[in-house]
Structure 1
Amino acid sequence: MRNKREKRGLLMLVLLLFGSFLALTARAQTGVICGTVTDAKFKEPLIGATVSIEGTTIGAITDIDGNFRIEKVQPGKYTLVASYVSYKTQTIKDVAVIAYQEAVVRIELSDADLQLQNVVVVAQRKLGTETAVLNTVRKSLPVVSGISAQQISKTQDSDAAEVLRRIPGITIVDDRFIVVRGLAQRYNNVWLNNATTPSSETDSRAFSFDVLPSSLVDNMMVYKSPSAELPADFSGGFVRLLTKNVPEGNTFNLSYQLGFNTNATFRDFQLTKGHAVDYLGFGVGKRTLPSNTPAHLNDVSTSDAATFTRRVNTGWDISHFTALPEQKLTFTMNRLFDLGDWRIGNITNVNYSTGYDYYEMKNNNYLSYDMTNDQSSYRYKYDDVQYKNTTKLGALFNWSFLNGNNKFEFRNFFNQRGTSSLSQRQGTDYYSEENIRKWESLYTGRTTYAGQLSGEHKWHDEADKLDWTVGYAYAAYKEPDRKVVKSMERKLDDELKYYVSDPTRYYQDLTDNSFSLGTNYEHIFSVSELFKPVLNAGVYGEYKDRTFEARRFLYNLLGSGYNRFAEWDYSSIFSDENISENRIYMKESTNKSDSYTSENLLGAAYVAARLNYGEKLNANIGVRMEYYQLKLDGYESDGIKAVHLDQSSTEFFPSLNVAYSLTDKQQVRVAYGRSVNRPEFREVVPYVYYDFALDANITGNVNLKNAYTNNVDVRYEFYPSTGETVTIGGFYKYFEDPIEQTYSEAGSGLQYTYHNADHARAFGVEVDIKKQLDFIGLKNLSLVFNGAYIHSKVYFAEGSFERDRAMQGQSPYLINTGLFYQLEDKGFSASVLYNRIGKRIETVGVPAQNPNDDIPDIYEMPRNALDLSFSKKVGKYVEIKGGIKDLLNSKIEYKQFLELTETSGAKREVEQLVRSYRPGVTVNLGVSVKF
């Protein structure tokens, strides 16, 4: 009996195991249904669309990229049902599923022709995809170019400045300033998240794009033709930069990257001793003047001056160490949840980076050419060495609140950048006929904050739309305790050594505050199926104020008993033992011109009408009114004569933008608009700032006038398929009173300032191509190419010494191109990117009556830049990225070209090298984890 029960039990166990095996086998022999759901008209991904197997509860929801995936589907044929709010439900029949394979389905949904009632749509169109950016470009009436977060992710660009180089007609100066269509940064305007951005630069009108990590960019759009709803103050381009604000579900992302630069990494490095907070970019606070510093050091006794000097006598000691690789650490958290009828999203990002740069530079400057001896006449001839450590700490804290036709956003961006640098200069100053050394120790701190609260509201079936933005931005630039030491070559015991002669210390504090408020209203009139005109109107207000203060100090070097000869390390000279009223103490050279305050008020209103004939013809005609007031209080460079500016004007700026669709995939555009280019605070104040790199002073010009531009654009656009575009465009610009930076001799040195030319013209052609190469058999490979040819000329009054030439900062050509290879199923991508700009004038020279006596313009020379990058997903959560930046390591060179006329009348060209250095090759390798 027992044996029978055991046999029966054994049989049941075998049957159970066999059944389980059959079940497992059946389950293993399944397939997958996957694919994408997009808008049929605009080809944009639809987020949150439902795809299900008809007659079952099995299905999936599309993600942020419109992708869906239904796993563990038994082999066979199925019917899919795809649905999305406000779209027609679509049925896809006979979807064949084969074991161990994926059935890929591409679904396009069309708008529903019905009125929706009591439906709450809690979703937001994704703007960071390549398709979304191309659709924005296609539907925009002003001429615009852009780049998406999706395309940015395929490169190794680390900040917004590097990203902008990929946009047609864009180049970057000094690794952070934008040049559009070859026009210098002062001709461009930048908004961050629909609000103005401040300039943290003391000597230029520019937003420093390197403060924004590329991983935080959702998209960047560069508008190149004026339109009534855009600010009138741009002639090159208006950059609208949006940070990410729509979370991709609930995720955490942590990434870490190492960068190895062939110039700097593992080099023996030297900087003046710093502080622990330097590692976070907050070293300014440790270097500022004490709170009880005398109002003017010359008003106290020499004994008290020596006591004060001893109190601030820090920062002379040199630290020697080995430079580590560049390091970047980023943490991002995305949260998405529902609260009643509201869908709430949050993106929180914290990013940190630190890295080292090292340059060896030839640094020369010239007087008029020596025709008698047929040789260049040097003003100076130097060899520079620079050590630099830059640390950035940033954060982004963005919220979105969605409820039906109402959307609110609260965006916050913060960046702190600290740079410690040590420069050593050696060579000959031909003006004084001395062999000299110059040494500069400098710490700079830049703080940038931008915050906006905005809303968007729709009603009457979206026939009416209102949006508004309130913004505040803060920028600070500080140079606490900049030390400059000049030494002269002298004999000591029959040996040539360097004798310290002119030590100085400098403190600078610049603070900008910007407040903005804007609102826009849109109403769509449904006159007929073919004619649905749109009325747009809006107002905008902006207030900026700047406070600038600087203190200058010289050293009295008196008495004896200490050694004034030194080899780059000056800590022994400026030791506490040598600080006394009989030896070394500081005196002040600050005057009233070293401080100024300024403010500007901008009030704008516009009205525009968008007229159409079906989808074939669209036109936008509008006018913008701007009231602008500039106030400035300061002093002439002598510190005696007060300068007070109070200028205001009210002006109107008309614009017309027309787009005509030749076919569903082709259209042409024509645009006209008038714009203005106003002087920046720093360009009008007569404050004099010494720039060590240029070995020259920089000052403003209170007599600068506004520059005005008439802009004309024509463009043809072809969209072969989703994500592809071919555009060819031309433009023409006429400038009245263009503003340019020039330089001239001032006493024993150079001085840079700003002037208005009489007028200028520029015209050019742009080409932009984004194309998959599968049509020639190269699957998974795509080409991006954009280039521009530009011709410009500045004209001067008859009888002037100055001769017609290209505009300052204008490149004659620009080339950006790249190949992108992507295997989505393998999680692998790679790219090759190339960039080159034509020879352009960095600084306008000094013309003379006899052209042979000219001090020629300084040109930035063309160079080839080649970048390689790759990324590979490992499993579900890990991605590895790497690349090589500036693989060719071409020289960065600045040159002068002088056209000489011999007594015989023959002409020849003389080339003079002004500056030259190599930036080094950087190899990056990083890993990110997303879960």
Structure 2
Amino acid sequence: MRRIGETGNGRSFFLLVLGCVLSLSAWAQTGVICGTVSDAKYKDALIGASVVIEGTTVGAIADVEGNFRIENVKPGKYTLVASYVSYKSETIKDVVVKAHQESVLRIELSDADLQLQNVVVVAQRKLGTETAIINTVRKSLPVVSGISAQQIGKTQDSDAAEVLRRIPGITIVEDRFVVVRGLAQRYNNVWLNNATTPSSETDSRAFSFDVLPSSLIDNMMVYKSPSAELPADFSGGFVQVMTKNIPDGNTFNVSYQMGFNTNATFCDFRLTDGTWKDYLGFGAGVRSLPSSFPSHLGEHTTEEAAAFTRQINQRWGIDKFTAIPDQKISLTAHRSYDVGDWKIGNITNVNWSTEYDYSETVNNNFIAYDVKNDASRPRFEYDDIRYKNTSKIGALFNWSFLKGNNKYELRNFFNQRGVFALTQREGVNYYSDKNIRKWESLYTGRTTYSGQISGTHTLQENINKVDWTAGYAFASYREPDRKIVNSILDENRTEKPDYYVSDPMRYYQDLKDHSASLAANYEHKFVVSDMFAPVFNGGIYGEYKSRTFDARRFGYNLLGKGYDRYADWDYTDLFTDENISADKIWMRETTTNSDSYTSENMLGSAYVSAKLNYGEVLNANIGVRMEYYRLQMDGYSSDGTTPVHLDNKTTDFFPSVNVAYNLSPKHLVRAAYGRSVNRPEFREVVPYVYFNFERDANIVGNTELKNAYADNIDLRYEFYPASGEMITIGGFYKRFKDPIEETYNEAGSGLQYTYHNAKNAEAFGVELDVKKNLDFIGLRGLSLVCNAAYIHSRVRFEKGAPERDRALAGQSPYLVNAGLFYQHDDKGISASLLYNRIGKRIESVGVPMQNQNEDIPDIYEMPRNSLDLTFSKKIGKVVEIKAGIQDMLNSKVEYKQFVKLTDENGGKREREQLIRSFRPGVDINVGVSLKF
């Protein structure tokens, strides 16, 4: 047996023991520096603040409660440096460390904006955390609400539309349009980063939020009260979406998610023939008219028209398959560079998704109620089956450059969205008294690009500051080769199929929007005394938008014999090349002059404002904004015979006052007044007629629309119990002159939707927003987020008019969002349970008559409950697993009319009519993300 010490192993063991003893001895002779880091004004914990021993890399990061701890510090006297982004660094000298003892410090950092001497902030303010958002809401003078990337990450929300539902006073229409305080999407303004966004919707004034993946959002702020530095064109809310631009170190993230929809996944699916490009969202190009196609078929002979018909005679076949699970992939790279004195950051993201939806919809419409027989009189009663595949591909490429007092940013966002849908409709059209079938094959391609370059320059530290932004945005919306086939039941036919094709149509549409903007702002601070330090702000903003719109319409002549017009949903046997000829089937041009138009607008604005204060107790922002607006449009009347030219110009001034009174560091009251405008959008003034298949109705603009103006008043109380917590309750009042709404009316054999100005309207309501940790009742790691709103509105009409006072279209009388969030950082577990409900709101304004019994009532979207559950688990530092269930309750989406009747004796009664109804299905998602 070998003895220890006689071998190399023995010597190694001896050295190991000696090292341990020396280490223990050294540890026994050290002390600890610990304490807290908080905001000097609000006393909130500064999560992530850095405390470092000067001249070394030894230090610690503050935790969620602001605590830090530096261990194993040798006895002596040290200087510490505490720092946090957007705060002035603090140097603490002569910190004495003794063996076996803790040196406890309480460090308070002041906001860099409050410092007046010799501070250079070389980091960017991060708004992606819940604490940062709450601090921004607290310090803002306009009434504002927001949501951060941190809170977004706790949900399964996949795009910006779903995220917005979590903000107080916000609801979403058609899964992509925002409604603020019950006011429809047309009353809101949206900027992506610091530049305007064009509307890619053909029939509404709105930004489609479903094009923006939630993973790219740094924060979303919704300003609800006007202020001079904000655009005047909003009455509900000004939504500012900021994409991520600050790198999270040097990291690479990849995430994959698979989704299952109970209506669609692994079920039989049908679409017309497609291409692989459909799965990238670029399927519109292969369906477009070829460049060799003539500008108008009416200029050619019948034989030539048949030849051109044969040239584009494609994609009639039905592809039957099983729907695969939804797929989502995202790749993100964060990079930071130091190049001389420059700090450079880059975030690059590429994302792709495809998903399948299936719905069975009851689709009805009614004319005036039959009072005598107490029975509804349907215009049509349909059952719709819809198959839909949505594919998106997007990219983000953002840069930031910092040097001393100068910061430059370059932001680029791109998204391509393709929707491939097939709808089969069957039912009775009571106007023609026929059993009918309608079949629509539709592909839509939507392209969105937004790019900005901006700079921020501090000319004299905390005295003079200039910032500027130049932006360009492009949006296109294409409907290439939209096919609609109408068929009629042959009641005398005994064999199947018994529906014969009567009226096939094809439609091509191409919309392009370009917009450019330029903004510059100047800020100058005056220091009069310790209690009075006013700030002067001034700025200019210019914007130019242009739109080109072109559409082509084609009908089919079905002549002669030798082919079979009977079919069951598959029309390939009818539209074969053999049947396309001058004596059988060929396309005819039905395009008119009104199917194309051009429009442009120009906006020039300037503002001045003053921020006044009395110490930190009272702050006010008083300002006025001037806006010059010019809208031009060239098109034709809806029948295509008369040229229409619009050239509308207005110059308006918009005053605003925002006041905040700090009752204490945790309590404040704010009040605001401002005037705003709501201008008609291109589509709303163009007399172009578009057929909406879902509504089975035409939509046409109104050249007589006027600007709508609103006076807005807000009052809100805010309480900040602790870091990351907020309780607010507020009220608002709005009065509108000439509000713009969408209405519908009878147009021959069908419906037609258009836009008009009411005389005036008003809306008022209360909002509650709560973000509170539940530690105080023993539920550590659990937090509550709840926001609710009650809103009342009334539209007023001229005396003697058939219209009766009613709620604003799109306005919900109440809405509730509630969520329970659980977070256990040590175990890397987080979970959430989210609930949403909105009140009954008008989807479409009806047709009023002098005799109320003859009304065609308003159509209401009915309340429904939505419940989402999410769970995530971090495994080590690299892997995170996420799972979630969206819309667990799968409540019906329903639209109804309520007929109010008065009998001969003055008795009142109400009848209910179902317009549309379907269940969207439950979405189950599982995913994994890797961070390197």
In the TM superposition, what is the alpha-carbon distance from 1:26 to its structure 2 partner?
A: 8.3
Task: Give me the whole-angstrom Cα distance separating, in 2, the residues matched to 1:175 and 1:578.
Answer: 42
Tell me what 1:705 maps to: 706
Of 904-913 and 35-44, more deviation after overlay is shown by 35-44
Counterpart AA for 2:10: V
Are residues 1:83 and 2:85 paired?
Answer: no
Are residues 1:894 and 2:890 paired?
Answer: no
1:582 match: secondary structure:
coil
Counterpart AA for 2:349: N
Are residues 1:678 and 2:674 paired?
Answer: no
2:289 match: secondary structure:
coil
In the TM superposition, what is the alpha-carbon distance from 1:871 to its structure 2 partner?
A: 0.9
Change (3 A) 1:534 1:417: same
Task: Give me the whole-angstrom Cα distance separating, in 1, the residues matched to 2:254 and 2:34.
Answer: 28
Task: Give me the whole-angstrom Cα distance separating, in 1, the residues matched to 2:115 and 2:759.
Answer: 60
Task: Give me the whole-angstrom Cα distance separating, in 2, the residues matched to 1:617 and 1:459.
Answer: 27
Task: Give me the whole-angstrom Cα distance separating, in 2, the residues matched to 1:821 and 1:660.
Answer: 34
Change (3 A) 1:280 1:73: farther
Q: Do the aligned residues in 2 keep the contact of 1:82 with 1:90 (CA within 8 Å)? A: yes
In the TM superposition, what is the alpha-carbon distance from 1:57 to its structure 2 partner?
A: 4.4
Task: Give me the whole-angstrom Cα distance separating, in 2, the residues matched to 1:812 and 1:95.
Answer: 62
Tell me what 1:588 maps to: 589
Task: Give me the whole-angstrom Cα distance separating, in 1, the residues matched to 2:45 and 2:420.
Answer: 46
Tell me what 1:765 maps to: 766
Change (3 A) 1:189 1:552: same
Change (3 A) 1:79 1:897: farther
Of 9-18 and 167-176, more deviation after overlay is shown by 9-18
Tell me what 2:795 maps to: 794
Task: Give me the whole-angstrom Cα distance separating, in 1, the residues matched to 2:75 and 2:505.
Answer: 84
Q: Do the aligned residues in 1 keep the contact of 2:199 with 2:475 (CA within 8 Å)? A: yes
Change (3 A) 1:434 1:41: same
Deviations 1:459-493 (A, max 9, x none): 32221111100000000000000000000000465
Change (3 A) 1:72 1:557: farther
Tell me what 1:320 maps to: 320
Are residues 1:382 and 2:378 paired?
Answer: no
Are residues 1:236 and 2:232 paired?
Answer: no
Q: Do the aligned residues in 2 keep the contact of 1:59 with 1:70 (CA within 8 Å)? A: no
Change (3 A) 1:27 1:311: farther
Q: Once the two structures are aligned, what percentage of the paired residues are identical? A: 67
Tell me what 1:627 maps to: 628
Tell me what 2:205 maps to: 205
Task: Give me the whole-angstrom Cα distance separating, in 2, the residues matched to 1:785 and 1:205.
Answer: 30
Deviations 1:546-605 (A, max 9, x none): 000000000111111111000000011001111111111101000100000000000000
Tell me what 2:653 maps to: 652
Tell me what 2:459 maps to: 459
Task: Give me the whole-angstrom Cα distance separating, in 1, the residues matched to 2:713 and 2:74.
Answer: 60
Tell me what 1:570 maps to: 571
1:19 match: secondary structure:
helix
Q: Do the aligned residues in 2 keep the contact of 1:86 with 1:116 (CA within 8 Å)? A: no
Task: Give me the whole-angstrom Cα distance separating, in 2, the residues matched to 1:312 and 1:58.
Answer: 70
Tell me what 2:827 maps to: 826
Of 812-821 and 105-114, more deviation after overlay is shown by 105-114
1:137 match: secondary structure:
helix
Deviations 1:691-729 (A, max 9, x none): 000000000000011100000000101111111111110
Q: Do the aligned residues in 2 keep the contact of 1:327 with 1:355 (CA within 8 Å)? A: yes
Tell me what 2:449 maps to: 449
1:203 match: secondary structure:
coil
Tell me what 2:858 maps to: 857
In the TM superposition, what is the alpha-carbon distance from 1:86 to its structure 2 partner?
A: 3.6
Change (3 A) 1:77 1:926: farther
Tell me what 2:615 maps to: 614
Task: Give me the whole-angstrom Cα distance separating, in 1, the residues matched to 2:703 and 2:258.
Answer: 47
In the TM superposition, what is the alpha-carbon distance from 1:272 to its structure 2 partner?
A: 0.5
Change (3 A) 1:373 1:328: same
- Size of the aligned set, in residue pairs, is 923
Deviations 1:510-559 (A, max 9, x none): 00000000011110100001000110100000000000000000011111
Change (3 A) 1:311 1:712: same
Are residues 1:162 and 2:162 paired?
Answer: yes
Counterpart AA for 1:10: E
Of 313-322 and 68-77, more deviation after overlay is shown by 68-77
Task: Give me the whole-angstrom Cα distance separating, in 2, the residues matched to 1:34 and 1:924.
Answer: 43
1:577 match: secondary structure:
helix
Task: Give me the whole-angstrom Cα distance separating, in 2, the residues matched to 1:427 and 1:283.
Answer: 31
Deviations 1:782-838 (A, max 9, x none): 111100000001111111111111110111001011010100111111000000000
Task: Give me the whole-angstrom Cα distance separating, in 2, the residues matched to 1:584 and 1:602.
Answer: 50
Tell me what 1:342 maps to: 342
Task: Give me the whole-angstrom Cα distance separating, in 2, the residues matched to 1:104 and 1:362.
Answer: 69
1:306 match: secondary structure:
helix
Counterpart AA for 2:161: A
Are residues 1:663 and 2:659 paired?
Answer: no
Q: Do the aligned residues in 2 keep the contact of 1:198 with 1:473 (CA within 8 Å)? A: yes
Task: Give me the whole-angstrom Cα distance separating, in 2, the residues matched to 1:664 and 1:68.
Answer: 21
- When normalised by structure 2's length, the TM-score is 0.95
Tell me what 2:752 maps to: 751
In the TM superposition, what is the alpha-carbon distance from 1:368 to its structure 2 partner?
A: 0.5
Tell me what 2:273 maps to: 273
In the TM superposition, what is the alpha-carbon distance from 1:94 to its structure 2 partner?
A: 9.6
In the TM superposition, what is the alpha-carbon distance from 1:88 to its structure 2 partner?
A: 2.3
Task: Give me the whole-angstrom Cα distance separating, in 1, the residues matched to 2:107 and 2:362.
Answer: 60
Q: Do the aligned residues in 1 keep the contact of 2:41 with 2:665 (CA within 8 Å)? A: no
Q: Do the aligned residues in 2 keep the contact of 1:42 with 1:135 (CA within 8 Å)? A: no
Deviations 1:85-129 (A, max 9, x none): 84322479799999xxx9999964347999865x75431121111
Tell me what 2:352 maps to: 352
Q: Do the aligned residues in 2 keep the contact of 1:89 with 1:109 (CA within 8 Å)? A: no
1:228 match: secondary structure:
coil
Structure-to-structure mapping, 1:704-743, within 5 angstroms: 704-743=705-744
In the TM superposition, what is the alpha-carbon distance from 1:191 to its structure 2 partner?
A: 0.6
Counterpart AA for 1:484: I
Task: Give me the whole-angstrom Cα distance separating, in 1, the residues matched to 2:449 and 2:46.
Answer: 33
Task: Give me the whole-angstrom Cα distance separating, in 1, the residues matched to 2:49 and 2:613.
Answer: 31
Task: Give me the whole-angstrom Cα distance separating, in 2, the residues matched to 1:95 and 1:572.
Answer: 90
In structure 2, stretches of 5+ residues that fail to align are: none
In the TM superposition, what is the alpha-carbon distance from 1:51 to its structure 2 partner?
A: 2.8
Q: Do the aligned residues in 2 keep the contact of 1:36 with 1:62 (CA within 8 Å)? A: no
Change (3 A) 1:305 1:69: farther
Task: Give me the whole-angstrom Cα distance separating, in 2, the residues matched to 1:23 and 1:213.
Answer: 54
Change (3 A) 1:116 1:141: closer
In the TM superposition, what is the alpha-carbon distance from 1:351 to its structure 2 partner?
A: 0.6
Change (3 A) 1:422 1:12: closer
Q: Do the aligned residues in 1 keep the contact of 2:60 with 2:69 (CA within 8 Å)? A: no
Task: Give me the whole-angstrom Cα distance separating, in 2, the residues matched to 1:409 and 1:439.
Answer: 49
Q: Do the aligned residues in 2 keep the contact of 1:64 with 1:126 (CA within 8 Å)? A: no
Deviations 1:437-459 (A, max 9, x none): 00000000000000000000113
Tell me what 2:225 maps to: 225
- When normalised by structure 1's length, the TM-score is 0.95
Structure-to-structure mapping, 1:1-80, within 5 angstroms: 10=6, 13-20=9-16, 23=19, 37-41=37-41, 50-52=50-52, 57=56, 59-60=58-59, 62=61, 73=72
Change (3 A) 1:394 1:111: closer
Task: Give me the whole-angstrom Cα distance separating, in 1, the residues matched to 2:694 and 2:34.
Answer: 58
RMSD across aligned C-alpha pairs, in angstroms?
2.7
Task: Give me the whole-angstrom Cα distance separating, in 2, the residues matched to 1:161 and 1:570.
Answer: 37
Task: Give me the whole-angstrom Cα distance separating, in 2, the residues matched to 1:10 and 1:852.
Answer: 111
In the TM superposition, what is the alpha-carbon distance from 1:648 to its structure 2 partner?
A: 0.3
Change (3 A) 1:115 1:552: closer
Tell me what 1:869 maps to: 870
Change (3 A) 1:66 1:284: farther
Q: Do the aligned residues in 2 keep the contact of 1:555 with 1:586 (CA within 8 Å)? A: yes
Task: Give me the whole-angstrom Cα distance separating, in 1, the residues matched to 2:99 and 2:536.
Answer: 51
Tell me what 2:778 maps to: 777
Q: Do the aligned residues in 2 keep the contact of 1:38 with 1:66 (CA within 8 Å)? A: no
Deviations 1:624-646 (A, max 9, x none): 00000000000001111110000
Q: Do the aligned residues in 2 keep the contact of 1:50 with 1:59 (CA within 8 Å)? A: no
In structure 1, stretches of 5+ residues that fail to align are: none
Q: Do the aligned residues in 2 keep the contact of 1:422 with 1:439 (CA within 8 Å)? A: yes
